[in-house]
Structures are given as C-alpha cells and as structure tokens.
C-alpha cells in the first residue's frame, strides 16, 4: 500500500495533476521471414499467467484508472491510509456477494495504523519463530529502504 501511494505521489510530482505521461512508440518488428519455417515449442509460449496478469498500464495512475477511478479520486490514494478506508468495504461487499457468512464486527487491521493489533501479530510471529514453527526461506518479500 505504502509503495503504491509513494508511486502516485512521485507520478504527480514528475508529471503533474492530472499526470501527462510521456508517449512511447511501439517498436514494430522487422518483417524478416526465414527461408525455413520455425516450429515453436508450445510449452515455451509467452502466454503465461504473469504476462496475462501484467496488463498494459506502466504507471500506478493508469492502474488506478483501469479500476474505474476518476483523476480526482486517484489523487486521494497518494495518502496510504486512504487505501485502508477505501478498499476494505469493497472487499467485504464482494465476500458477502459470494455468500460468505462472517461476523464483521470482529474485524481489525494489523498495520501500523492500529498499533495494538500490529504488536500482537509481531509478538505471535516472534513467539512462533522462537518455537521453530516458522522457517524463513527463499521467498520474495516487500521491503522498502525508504520506510524501513
């Protein structure tokens, strides 16, 4: 959340509000047809899940526009805490629409915004780590040197 909010801030600083992004030309491949047809291995195609999910947006602002948000709405997302107010009700509506039955009165956020529950989650993970219930391996994590 913080990283996306920071991207939006940086895009507004670099490109203004609403941002005017630089246009990039799409390079057309040269039409060189080989003398012999090359048979492509279907197992090594470029239609992977990652490519399909990537989309065409290069900037965070464009990603937010693809969600149907207006420019005036998007500028509020430069504040990381706004994300915590905006998206949870939408997620709850989606889960209720799918037929999930939950007592939503007992929900809480485990972020820096709610230090009591954040400290509980930290304590729980440290406790499990001390008992060797959690092992750290080679997994990607989100880390921002700007935010520690």
What are the pLDDT digits (tens) for 18-46? 899 888 655 555 555 555 555 555 555 56
Distance separating alpha carbons of residues 3 and 79, to the nearest angstrom: 11
pLDDT value for 32 = 53
Decide if pLDDT at 99 tops 60.
yes
Helices (H), 16-110: 49-54, 60-66, 71-74, 80-97
pLDDT value for 96 = 95
pLDDT tens for each residue of 44-72:
556 666 666 666 778 999 999 999 999 99
pLDDT value for 81 = 92
Q: Does 141 or 99 have the greater pLDDT score?
A: 99
Q: What is the pTM of this model?
A: 0.62
pLDDT value for 121 = 84
Quickly tell me which residue has 């959340």 as its tokens. Answer: 1
Distance separating alpha carbons of residues 138 and 9, to the nearest angstrom: 31
Distance separating alpha carbons of residues 3 and 147, to the nearest angstrom: 9
What token pair was written down for 60?
Answer: 């965070």
What token pair was written down for 145?
Answer: 């040197």
pLDDT value for 125 = 86
């Amino acid at each position: 959340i913080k990283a996306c909010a920071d991207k939006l801030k940086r895009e507004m600083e670099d490109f203004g509000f609403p941002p005017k992004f630089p246009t990039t030309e799409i390079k057309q491949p040269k039409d060189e047809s080989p003398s012999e047809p090359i048979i492509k291995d279907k197992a090594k195609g470029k239609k992977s899940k990652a490519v399909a999910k990537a989309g065409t947006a290069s900037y965070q602002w464009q990603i937010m526009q693809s969600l149907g948000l207006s420019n005036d709405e998007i500028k509020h997302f430069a504040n990381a805490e706004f994300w915590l107010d905006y998206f949870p009700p939408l997620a709850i509506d989606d889960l209720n629409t799918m037929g999930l039955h939950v007592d939503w009165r007992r929900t809480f956020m485990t972020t820096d915004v709610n230090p009591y529950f954040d400290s509980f989650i930290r304590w729980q993970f440290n406790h499990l780590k001390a008992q060797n219930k959690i092992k750290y391996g080679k997994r990607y994590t989100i880390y921002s040197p700007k935010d520690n």
